[in-house]
Amino acid sequence: MKIGIVGIGLIGASLGWDFRQMGHHVIGVSRQHSTCTTAEREEICDRASCNLASLQDTEIIFICTPIAAIIPTIEQLIPHLHPDTIITDAGSVKEAIVDRSTELWANFVGGHPMAGNSQSGIAAFEKRLFADRPYVLTPTSKTSPIALERVAELVRSLNSILYYATPEQHDLAVAWISHLPIMVSASLISACLHEADPTILDFAKKFASTGFRDTSRVGGGNPEMGMMMAEYNREAILRSLYQYRDRLDTVIGSIETQAWTEIKDLLSTNQSVRNDFLDSKDV
């Protein structure tokens, strides 16, 4: 199959490598010429260029750009494509993307490969990055069943765990486990920095260990990406943040009233249910 990839970063490059290994012909497009050179040299793409017109003969195109560039990319692609070309994307937010993209292109299928590492860019690409990881497809009533099945076949060939969700369900779910943690973690670092006594702040920095490291990790990550998630999944993340603030207030109330068994019960419940979020995935 002839597969196009727009945006040859961590996700696009890892998809390209896997697809080429399976014998597909992969054509990549990047804004940066140096990325195209790397993509060809590292055998991530058969050909790569800065020109969207190079994708005119492809059967399926994966748009792996940052969220904000997905719809502009589709608009620029359209003049070059046969009407039966399938477009899918890899954006981490779906409702804001899928509705508009399906209006623009009948054969659009929303997707979200939920894999990654702490890096970004083509240099961070990983072979078999998507194996045993969730890959969510988000059809709507307007999605072409044939286009959906063709994307699903490719997803299965990556050995991903394929899920179907509506764009709304996807966005509400990732708000809980991906976007809310960023804001919770960002507020932790920010709170520490608001310590008014420089001696205490200095001790805090010196004493910080694995507990602080892990809880603060996603709040110290890519600023552009965190901002995009908040912007493009605003309603769902606010819904999660309001619930989070309620839970935090409950914890504060328990400590204020010295209701220690409430704190212990909360932590006991957490300890027993946390595995439900982690089981059966290699995380």
For position 268 contacting a second copy by CB under 8 A, the verdict is yes
Under the binding rule (CB under 8 A), the answer on residue 252 touching a second copy is yes
Name which of residues 152 to 191 contact a second copy (CB under 8 A).
161, 163, 165, 169-170, 172-174, 176-178, 180-191
Does residue 71 touch a second copy according to CB under 8 A? no
240 in contact with a second copy (CB under 8 A):
yes
The site that binds a second copy (CB under 8 A) totals a number of residues, namely 97
CB of 152 to a second copy, least distance (A): 17
Residue 276 in tokens:
């439900």
Q: Which stretch binds a second copy (CB under 8 A): 2-10, 21-29, 81-89, 199-207?
A: 199-207
**Pick from 23, 79, 194, 198: which binds a second copy (CB under 8 A)?**
194
**Window of 12-20, 56-64, 140-148, 225-233 that interacts with a second copy by CB under 8 A:** 225-233
Q: Restricting to residues 134-153, which ones interact with a second copy according to CB under 8 A? A: 134, 136
Binding flag, residue 257, a second copy (CB under 8 A): no
Q: Whole-number minimum distance, CB 94 to a second copy, in Å?
A: 12
Q: How far is the CB of 13 from a second copy (least distance, A)?
A: 19
Of 71, 86, 91, nearest to 135 (Cα)? 91
Contact between 83 and a second copy per CB under 8 A: no
Q: Which is nearer to a second copy, 52 or 174 (CB)?
A: 174
Closest CB to a second copy among residues 50, 227: 227
Residues 100-129 that bind a second copy (CB under 8 A): 114-116
Nearer to a second copy, 156 or 205 (CB): 205
Q: Which residues of 129-141 are buried (b: 16+ CB within 10 A; e: fewer)?
A: bbeebebbbbbbe
Contacts 24+ apart (CB under 8 A), 109-112: 109/137, 109/139, 109/143, 109/144, 109/147, 109/148, 109/151, 110/137, 110/138, 110/139, 110/140, 110/143, 110/167, 111/62, 111/135, 111/136, 111/137, 111/138, 111/151, 111/155, 112/136, 112/138, 112/170, 112/174
